[in-house]
Structure 1
Amino acid sequence: MIKHFISLEWKQYFRSSYWQKGLAVKILLGFFAVYMMVSFLSLGIFSFFIIRKTVPDTDPLHVVNSYLLFAIMGDLIFRYLMQKLPAMKIKPLLVLPIKKKKLVHYVLAKSAISAFNIFGLFFYVPFAIVLMKEGYSVSGALGWLFAMIVIIQSSNFLNFIINKSNIAFAVLATILGGAVALQYFSIFDLTTISKPLFNAIYETPSLSLIPLILLFVFYFINFKILKSQLFLDGAIKAKVKEVNASDLSWVNSFGEMGPFIKNEMRLIWRNKRTKMVFLMSFLFVLYGLIFFTNPIYEEKMKGFLVFASIFVTGGFVLNYGQFIPAWESAYYKMLMTQNLSYRKYIESKWFLMTAITTVLFILATPYLYFGTKTYLMVASGAIFNIGINTLVILYAGSFNRKRIELNVSGIGNTQGTSAKQFIIIIPIMGIPIAIFYLFYLKISYHAGLIAIGVFGILGLLLRNYFMDLIAKKYVKNKYAAISAFEEVA
C-alpha cells in the first residue's frame, strides 16, 4: 500500500504542468540544497579539528555539546518559519477501502524524510565518524549520534503540533523566549545545562533512549490529530468566517481608482500571505542597520549602501509588487470580464506602492542619527523606488503566470515564484548601483546620490507615458494570464 501511495504522488508531481513551468525555481532550490549539504558536511568533518586548533585545552566534543541546545532551538524556530505541514491529496482516497490509519502513517512517515531532517545529518554523522577515528568511545559516539537523529525527528513532529495548536505554540514560544532572554541578559548560561546533558549521553549511551520516548509521544499526538480530521465532510466543508469590514469609504475620494485601491487593501488585510508580506515590509526599514553601522561599507563597498537604501523603503514594492497581478489569480478571470479601465487598475497598484513607500521613508527618519549623508542615501533610494522601481515591477507583472492561494501561510511559501522573480532583481538593484558608481567615480559621492534621485524624478515625470505602455502590455497578455491562473498547483 505504501508503495502504491508513493507511485500516486510521483505521478501527480511529474504530470502536473507546474513541474515544467516551475523547473527554473526547482533547479535554484536544488542548488541551494546542495550548497547547504556541502556546508554541513564540511562543518561536520572539519569542526573537530578547527576547535582543537583554536582552543587546544578543550575537548571539541564538550564545545559542541555546550551549544547543542542552541542548535536544537534554532532548528525548531527555522522549521516553524519554513517547514510545511505533511500533506497528501487524500480526498479521492477517502471513498476507497483503505484504512485511515494507513493514510495517516504514510503522511507522517513521509515527513520524516524531509530536507529539514536530512540537513542536520550531514553534520552529525561525519562528526561522529571523526570522533571514532580520533579514539573516542565507539559506543559513546554511536549513542550520541542516535540521540541527535531521534531529536531531529522529535523536532519534526513537535513542529507540526505547534503549527496545529495555538496553546502549544504559546507555551513553546514562552519557553524559548525566556531561555533566549536569560542567556542574552547573562542571567543564566544555557551551556551549563547543554554541556553536561549531552556529555552524559556520550558517557552513558543507554540514555539516548530517553529522546526516543519523546519521539513516540510526539508521533502519537500527531497521529491522533490527523486521524481525527480525516473525514470527507471535514475535508470539503467550507469554513464560514465573519468578516470584520473596516470603513474604507474615504478611499472613494480617489475617483475611478478608489474601488481598486479599496479591494487591494481588503485583499492585503484579509489573507494570510498578503498580510505577512505587508507586515514584513515594515521590518525592511531596519535592514539598513546592517550596512549603515558598519564602516567597512562606507570605506570600501559603497555599492552595498545603495543596495541597502533601496531595501529600506522598498520592502513593499519588492515583496508585494513582484507578485502583481498573481495576488488576484483566484478571481482574475472574473475581474477581466468587468467593464473596467485597465489603466486605472494598474495605476491603483502604483498608487498603493507609492503610498506605502512614502510611509516607510517617514519611518526611516531615525537614520538621520547616522548623518545627513546616510539619510540622503535613504531618500534617493525612496525616490528611485517610487519613480522607477514601481514601474519596473508593474511591467514585470505582465509576465506573471503563477497562481497564488491567498489563504496559505506566507512563511516559507514559494507559490507564485518563478525565474522572473529572480531576474527582476537585477534591474531593480543593478540600475541604481550602476548610476551611483558612474557619477561617484566621475564626480563625487553626493553627485551619485543626486543622480539616483534625478532618475527617480524623471520616472515620475514620465509616469503617464510608461503607464500607458504597461497597460497595453497587460491587455496583450490578458488571455495568457487567465489561462495560466486557472491551473492549480
Structure 2
Amino acid sequence: MISHFLKLEWKQYFRSANWQKSIFLNILLVLFALYFMLSFLAIGIGGFFILKEQFPDQDPLFLVNSFLLFAIVGDLIFRYIMQKLPVMNIKPLLTLNIPRNKIVHFILAKSSFSFFNIMGLFFYIPFSVVLMKEGYEITGVLGWLATMILLIQSANFLNFLINKNNIAFGGLITILLGGYLVQHFDLFNLAGLVGEGFDFIYQNPITAVAFLGLLIILYFLNYKQLRNEVYLDALISEKTKEANASDLSFADKLGDLAPFIKNDLRLIWRNKRTKSSTWMILMGLGYGLFFYPQPIYKDMVFMYVLVGIFSTGTFLINFGQFIPAWDSGYYKMLMSQNFKYHRYLESKFTMMTISVVALFVLGIPYVYFGWKVLAVHFAAMIYNIGVNTHVILFGGTFNRKKINLDEKAAFNLQGTGAVQWLIGLPLMLLPMGIFALVNWLVSFEIAVLVLATLGFIGIAFHQKIMALITKKYITNKYVMIHAFNQEN
C-alpha cells in the first residue's frame, strides 16, 4: 500500500501543471537546498576544530550544547513560518477500500522526510563522527545524536499541532528574545544551564528514551487529530464562516482610494497567503540585526543600502511584486466595474508608501549602530518611495500567474515567474551599485545625497510615471484576464 501511495505522489508532483511551468524555479530550489546542505555539512565537519581553536579552554561539545535551546526554538519559529503542513490528495482515496489509518500514517511518515528534518542531520551526524574520532565515548555520542534526531522529529510534529496558534508562536518568540536578553545582560548563565542538561544526556545515553517517549506522544496526538478529519463529507461539505468585519473607517480619509485600500486590507488579513506574508515584515525590520553587530560589515557601507532597502521595503517587495495577481481570483469582475484604473494603482502605491515610512520610523533605533546607518536608511526610504514603488508597479504589468490566497506563503511558488526574479536587480543591486560607486569616487555624504535625490526625482515625476504605468496595465488588461482564468 505504501508503494502505491509513493507512486501516486511521484506522478502527481511531476505531472502537475505547476511543475511543467516552473522547471527553472524548481532547479533553483534544488540548488538552494544543496547549498544549505553542503554548508551544514562543512560546519558539522569543521565545527569541532573551529570551536577548539577559538575556545581552547572549553569543551566543543559543551559549547554546542549551550546553544541548543536557541537552535531548537529558532527551528520551531522557522518551521512555523516556512513549513507546510503534511498534505496529500486524499479525496479520491476515500471512495476506495483503503483503511483511513493507513492514509493518516502515510501522511505523517511522509512529513518525517521533509527538507526541514533532513537539513539538521547534515550538521549533527558529521559532528558526532568527529567527536568519536576525537576520543569521545561512543555510546555517549550515539545517545546524544539519537536525542538530536528525536528532537528534530518532535519539532516536526509539534509544529503541526501549534501551527495555527498565534499564542504559541508568540510564546516561542518570547522564549527566544527572553533567552537572548538573559544572556546579553548576564542575568544568569542560561546557556551553561542548558549545556549541562545536554551534557547529562551524553554522560547517560539511556535518557534518550525519554525523548523517544515525547516523539511517540506527539505522533499519537497528530494521528488522532488527522484521523478525525479524514472523512469525505468533511472534505466536500461547504463550510460557512462568519466574517469578522474590522473597523476600517480610518481609510475613508483617503477619499476615492478608500474602497481599494479597504479591500486590500481585508484581503491581507483574511487569507492564508497574504497573512503569512505579513510575518515577513517583522523579519525584514530585524534584518539589520544580522549585519550591523558584525565587525566585518562596519566598513562595508554599501551593505547599509541593502539593509535599508529591505528593512523599509519589506512590505513593498512582498506585497508589491504580486500586483495585480493578488486580485486574480476576481480580476475579471474587478475589470468590469466602473472605476479609473489609475486610482486602483494609486491605492497600491499609497499602501506601499505608508508601509515604507512606517517601517523607517520603527527602524530608527538602528541609530544605535551609528548615524551613518540612519542616514542610509532615510535615503533608502526615499528611494523606495520614489523609485522602487514605480519599478514594482511596472513589473506587475508582466504578471500572468494566478494566486490561490488560501495557501500559505512558505515555499509557495504559485504566482512566481521570471519577473519576480529579474525585478530584484533594479530593486536591490542598482541602488547598492550607485551608492558604492559614488561613495568610492566622492564621499559617503554625497552617496547618501545621490540616493535620496533619485528618490525625490521619482516623487516629483510620480503622476507622469503613473500615467505611463496605467497605460501599460490597460493595454495588457485582457491578456491578464485570460491568464488569470487559467489554472496553474
TM-score range, shorter chain: 0.7 to 0.9
Residues of 2 paired with 1:154 and 1:326: CA distance? 37
Partner in structure 2 of residue 430 of structure 1:
429
Q: Distance in 1 between matches of 2:101 and 2:149?
A: 25
In structure 1, distance between residues paired with 2:228 and 2:135: 50
Residue pairs, 1:182-197, within 5 angstroms: 182-197=182-197
- Which shifted more, 445-454 or 189-198? 189-198
Amino acid at match of 1:310: I
* Equivalent AA in structure 1 for residue 353 of structure 2: T
Q: Is the 8 A contact 2:81 2:279 kept in 1?
A: no
Greater Cα shift, 216-225 or 177-186:
177-186
Q: CA shift at 1:112, angstroms?
A: 0.5
Q: Provide the residue aligned with 1:223 in structure 2.
A: 223
Deviation at 1:289, TM superposition (A): 6.2
C-alpha distance in 2 between matches for 1:253 and 1:150: 54
Matched residues in 2 for 1:404 and 1:85: separation? 19
User: CA deviation digits over 1:112-138, x for unaligned, max 9?
Assistant: 101111111111222222233333333
Aligned to 2:70: 70
Q: Normalising by structure 2, report the TM-score.
A: 0.87
Aligned match of 2:464: 465
Give the match's secondary structure for 2:321: helix
Q: Give the Cα separation in 1 of the matches to 2:221 and 2:171.
A: 16
Task: Report the 3-state secondary structure (helix = DSSP H, G, I; strand = E; otherwise coil) of the residue aligned with 1:381.
Answer: helix
1:84 equivalenced with 2:87 (yes/no): no
Match in the other structure for 1:336:
335
* Residues 252, 259 of structure 1: 8 Å contact kept: no
Query: Deviation digits for residues 72-100 of structure 1, max 9, x if unmatched?
Result: 33322322222111111212222222111
8 A Cα contact 1:124 1:148, kept in partner = yes
Identity of aligned residues (%): 50
Unaligned stretches of 5+ residues in structure 1: none
Q: Corresponding residue for 1:207?
A: 207
Kindly report which structure 2 residues correspond to 1:295-444, keeping only aligned pairs within 5 A, or say none.
300-363=299-362, 375-410=374-409, 413-444=412-443
Deviation of 1:263 after TM superposition, in Å, equals: 1.9
**CA distance in 2 between partners of 1:197 and 1:370 (Å):** 36
Aligned to 2:25: 25
Is the 1:81–1:412 contact (alpha carbons within 8 Å) kept by the matching residues of 2?
no
The residue aligned with 1:270 is 270
> Where do residues 2-13 of structure 1 align in structure 2 (5 Å cutoff)?
2-13=2-13
Aligned CA distance change for structure 1 residues 56 and 380 (closer, same or farther; 3 Å): closer
Residue 222 of structure 2 aligns to which amino acid in structure 1?
A: N
* Residue 164 to residue 359, structure 1, CA distance change in 2 (3 Å): closer
Report if aligned partners of 1:161, 1:168 keep a CA contact under 8 Å in 2. Answer: no
Amino acid at match of 1:194: V
**In structure 2, the residue corresponding to 1:320 is in which secondary structure?**
helix
Match in the other structure for 1:37: 37
> What RMSD, in angstroms, separates the aligned Cα atoms of the two structures?
3.2
- Tell me the secondary structure at the aligned position of residue 95 of structure 2: coil
Deviations 1:318-356 (A, max 9, x none): 221111112112212322333443233222212322233
Partner Cα distance (1:356, 1:39) in 2: 35
| Partner SS for 1:152 | helix
Give the whole-Å Cα distance in 1 for the aligned partners of 2:285 and 2:20.
37
In structure 2, relative to structure 1, the CA distance for the partners of 1:258 and 1:50 (3 Å cut) is closer
Letter in 2 for 1:136: Y
Letter in structure 2 aligned against 1:268: I
- Aligned-pair distance for 1:400? 1.9
Q: Which amino acid aligns with 2:343?
A: K
Does structure 2 conserve the Cα–Cα contact (< 8 Å) formed by 1:282 and 1:360? Answer: no
Q: Which one-letter code corresponds to 1:158 in the other structure?
A: L
How many residues end up aligned between the 2 structures? 487
- 1:240, distance to aligned residue in structure 2 (A): 1.1
Residues 250-265 of structure 1 mapped to structure 2, 5 A cutoff: 251=252, 254-255=255-256, 257-265=257-265
Distance 1:354 1:95, change over 3 A: same
Distance 1:52 1:220 in 2: 41
Using the alignment, how far apart are the partners of 2:45 and 2:383 within structure 1? 47
Confirm whether residue 447 of structure 1 aligns to residue 407 of structure 2.
no
Structure 2 counterpart of 1:305, one-letter code: Y
Length-normalised TM-score, structure 1: 0.87
| CA distance in 1: counterparts of 2:95 and 2:125, whole angstroms | 43
Bigger CA drift: 75-84 or 178-187? 178-187
Find the counterpart in structure 2 of residue 105 from structure 1.
105
Aligned to 1:246: 247
- Equivalent residue of 1:97, what SS? coil
Return the offset for 1:370.
7.1
- Higher mean alpha-carbon deviation, 80-89 vs 268-277, is at 268-277
Q: CA deviation at 1:220?
A: 0.5
How far 1:39 moved relative to its partner?
A: 1.4
Q: Counterpart of 2:435 in 1: which secondary structure? A: helix
When residues 71 and 290 of structure 1 are mapped into structure 2, their CA distance, relative to the original with a 3 A threshold, is: closer
Q: What's the CA shift for 1:37?
A: 0.9
For the structure 1 residues 379 and 398, does the alpha-carbon distance in structure 2 shift closer, same or farther, using more than 3 Å as the test? same
- 1:229, distance to aligned residue in structure 2 (A): 1.1
Q: Residue 380 and residue 71 in structure 1: after superposition, are their counterparts in 2 closer, same or farther (change >3 A)?
A: closer
In 1, distance between residues paired with 2:201 and 2:290?
40
Distance 1:449 1:486 in 2: 45
Query: 3-state SS of the aligned residue for 1:403?
Result: coil
Q: Which moved more, 1:92-101 or 1:459-468?
A: 459-468
Question: Does structure 1 conserve the Cα–Cα contact (< 8 Å) formed by 2:81 and 2:276?
Answer: no
